[in-house]
Amino acid sequence: MVNKITLNDIAKKAGVSSQTVSRVINNLPDVSRATRKRVQQIIDEMGYQPNAIARSLSTQRTWMMGVVIGSLDRYGPSRIFVELNKNAYLQGYRLLPYFTYGEDTLEIAKYVQELLTHRPDGIIWAVMERAGHDEVIQESFDGIDIPIVTMEACMPNVPKPVFMDQVKTSDGLTTHLIEQGYSNIGIITGEMRPTVRGRLRIEGWENALRRAGLPYSTLQRAHGDWTAIGGEHAMSQLMEQYPSLDAVFACNDQMALGVLSYAYRHNIHVPSQLGVVGMDDISEAICFNPPLTTARLPFEAFAEQTVQTLARMIDAHVAEEDYIVPDTLMLYPKIIIRESSMRKSVDT
Amino acid sequence: MVNKITLNDIAKKAGVSSQTVSRVINNLPDVSRATRKRVQQIIDEMGYQPNAIARSLSTQRTWMMGVVIGSLDRYGPSRIFVELNKNAYLQGYRLLPYFTYGEDTLEIAKYVQELLTHRPDGIIWAVMERAGHDEVIQESFDGIDIPIVTMEACMPNVPKPVFMDQVKTSDGLTTHLIEQGYSNIGIITGEMRPTVRGRLRIEGWENALRRAGLPYSTLQRAHGDWTAIGGEHAMSQLMEQYPSLDAVFACNDQMALGVLSYAYRHNIHVPSQLGVVGMDDISEAICFNPPLTTARLPFEAFAEQTVQTLARMIDAHVAEEDYIVPDTLMLYPKIIIRESSMRKSVDT
DNA sequence: CTGAAAGCGCTTACAG
DNA sequence: CTGAAAGCGCTTACAG
């Protein structure tokens, strides 16, 4: 391991007991100014680094938050991860990341077991893969006396501090398309069997169309794989299934780019002949051809609220107090209107 | 903390000593089949989870690799991080991530100190921010007896297991543009004061142009901020500085998208009037309008080699053997030719 | 203001 | 095949 120097080495060198050194390191009272200064000097000289492992074992506290998260190749999850890290740091915690690949539930359960081995002070569950995991995972946490919050899936007895309203967002984007005069609006989802989040997006799209008295058959639905090329294929399928299509809501910006690519190759003009909206507002979206209408999700606030809630739960847990789960914070994405859906202003 | 159940609890319940339980857990020999079975049963029943903290303290081994990395909002670093995690896992390690934001060297030095506190078995240095850190950081590691590898910056006495040849790549992309008949080729870099990596890219661009007897003045250079919109601005600046421009090498695909966006808005046809190449081959690049010529970097191999080398170094360190640093593995990106630079085939 | 001692939950020679 | 005991490097009542 690293530095061979221990508390005791410092203590000997300074001619004091080790707990005096401990007091200096942790800035506790009950050390004379003179002693404190002398000890500090020796610490600096020798380049002593306290051992967090030993401290954790002794204090029963690791200051680690385990985070289980998947699909890091995608925009949302990777933004979330970065923001979680930033906020955990601000609260004095480090992250112990456990990335899931694929959907092998059993694998994930084992993975979680391994994570628990490191005794994180709390756990953030950010896997948004299709449900079905939930029960198996829940089992892993059963009887485990450790605070846990979820960002995506809903689990019994597990607080979900923030909720990004997917339904309202898709509803808003779809409604915007309707207002622009489009009436045969398709949707491109991420997976064939959508995640919970995916289903909510479909719901919002349906709601808007139903309210407007417009069609929303399954023929108006296709699925990609969250990539641009996947979006392009889905678009091609959509045009076959539902030739009267005049607008598309793609569930992320990459797939929307695929739709734009399809339109370009088939000489379909966007937005006059086809309206396109995406989701995420990735930084590239503004430079698409044409610039893309989309919705920006408040990932910063999402992560902040999650981490803060978990930190409170940990505090309460340590103090052996009861924790009152706060109301779920509702967050709403911001719709960003750009050229890809602005038929009205183009027409006039 | 988690599970209150300890080795001792199991031992008592099984009526054996704690080290017998330890033997069972770690699959060590010298336990009778009967005892092993009985102990294992009790472990399963009680849902016992060994405590990795205690084990680490005792064995002086954490099975953690600290990784210091920045710019996770960008494609390269985030790909690298994910691949590092995957490979570390395969080698039996977990990652302890330390993300840097911005370039405050002092901040980073403190950060590194904190990381060392957790006694990782080894460290991966993947910060690619501008040099200048190096000395300060090097100091943090001085006298620290712990294996470390670097992926980007060069530090004395720190092995750099892999090297992605930036010069050859830019050279190759630029040469491709020349072969397609472009002769006034600009470059858009990421920063005003490029990183080491950035400078190598400029070098490759210059090499190709020099060899071909073509101009490569500083007027042909502009910088963005790695984003699409930044690339668009840079392109606009480039057109002012150097009006005869007929091709651009953007140092990443996002900035190349900005160039395409500029071309679109100014009715410049790509590739007949302007050739565009990027770098990275992000999954969207194939759906750009037109599809983008770019270079794909072998991130998997990059991460794999890095992690494996570090693992070997750790092995040697634990065994107190000398470690012979292997030759640096050279990796070459693959150039992907698409429509954005194919003037020849368009002309004919 | 300071220190002796026990404890956190494991592993590891060593002895039997 | 099994166990008593010391040790990893800290913290924490407790006593002085």
Nearest by CB to A260, from B258, B283, B289: name it: B289
Angle at B68 between CA B63 and CA B69, to 5 degrees: 130
Three-state SS for B281?
Answer: coil
- What pLDDT band is residue B108 in, cutting at 50, 70 and 90? confident
Interatomic CA distance for residues B111 and B113, integer angstroms: 5
Residues of chain A neighbouring B117 (CB-CB closer than 8 A): 49-52
Q: Distance (Å, rounded) from C-alpha B298 to C-alpha B290? A: 24
Q: Where are the alpha helices (DSSP H) in chain A?
A: 7-14, 18-25, 33-46, 52-59, 75-90, 105-117, 133-141, 166-179, 196-211, 228-241, 253-265, 299-318, 343-347
Q: Evaluate if residue B2 carries a pLDDT over 50.
A: no
Going from the C-alpha of A313 to that of each of A95, A124, A317, B19, the distances in angstroms are: 16, 12, 6, 35
Of A1, A73, A78, the CB nearest to B119: A1
Average pLDDT along chain A, 348 residues, taken 10 residues at a time: 74 85 84 83 87 94 94 90 95 93 77 91 84 69 83 81 89 97 95 76 95 95 95 97 96 97 96 96 96 96 96 91 85 95 70
Interatomic distance A30 CA / D13 C1' (Å): 15
Nearest alpha carbon to residue A46 among A21, A28, A23 = A21
Instruction: State yes or no: pLDDT of B125 exceeds 70.
Output: yes
Q: CA of A287 vs C1' of D12, distance in Å? A: 60
For the CA of B54 and the C1' of D6, the distance in angstroms is 16
Chain A 179..238 CB hits on strand C (< 7 A): none
CA distance A214 to chain B (A): 31
| pTM for this model (two decimals) | 0.92
- Please count the residue pairs, one from chain A and one from chain B, whose beta carbons lie less than 8 angstroms apart: 142
Nucleotides of C under 7 A from a protein CB: 1-5, 7-13
Of B283, B286, B289, the CB nearest to A264: B289
Residues of B in contact with A261 (CB under 8 A): 287-289, 291
Average pLDDT estimate for B111-133: 84
Identify from B1, B63, B314 which residue to disrupt to test chain A contact, counting A C-beta atoms within 10 A and taking the largest count.
Answer: B1
B229-234: average pLDDT = 97
What is the C-alpha separation between B17 and A174, in angstroms, rounded? 67
Strand D atom within 7 Å of A57 CB: yes
Q: Is the CB of A29 under 7 A from strand C?
A: yes
pLDDT at B202 over 50: yes
Contact across the interface for B287 and A4, Cβ inside 8 Å: no
Both tokens assigned to A3: 């530095």
Rounded CA-CA distance A31/B26 in Å is 44
Task: Report, as an integer, the average pLDDT of B70-96.
Answer: 93
Residue nearest to nucleotide D6 (CA to C1'): B58
Residue-level pLDDT at B304? 96
pLDDT at B109: 82
pLDDT of residue A103: 67
What is the average per-residue pLDDT within B134-152? 79
Tally of CA atoms within 13 A in the half-sphere of B82 that contains its CB: 22
- Which stretch of A133-137, B67-71, B242-246, B305-309 has the lowest confidence by average pLDDT? A133-137
Percent of chain B with pLDDT over 90: 61
**pLDDT tens-digit profile of B39-62?**
888 888 888 889 999 999 999 999
pLDDT at B103: 67
As a residue count, chain A comes to 348
Nearest CA in chain A to B86: A99
Which residues in A lie closer than 8 A to residue B144 (C-beta atoms)?
2-3
Least confident span in A176-185, B32-41, B256-265: B32-41
Predicted local confidence at residue A21, as pLDDT: 85
Which of B287, B289, B336 is the best mutation test for A, with the most CBs of A within 10 A?
Answer: B287
* pLDDT attached to residue A348: 43
A284·B4 Cβ contact <8 A:
no
At residue B73, the pLDDT reads 87
Task: Collect all residues of chain B within an 8 Å Cβ-Cβ radius of residue A291.
Answer: 261
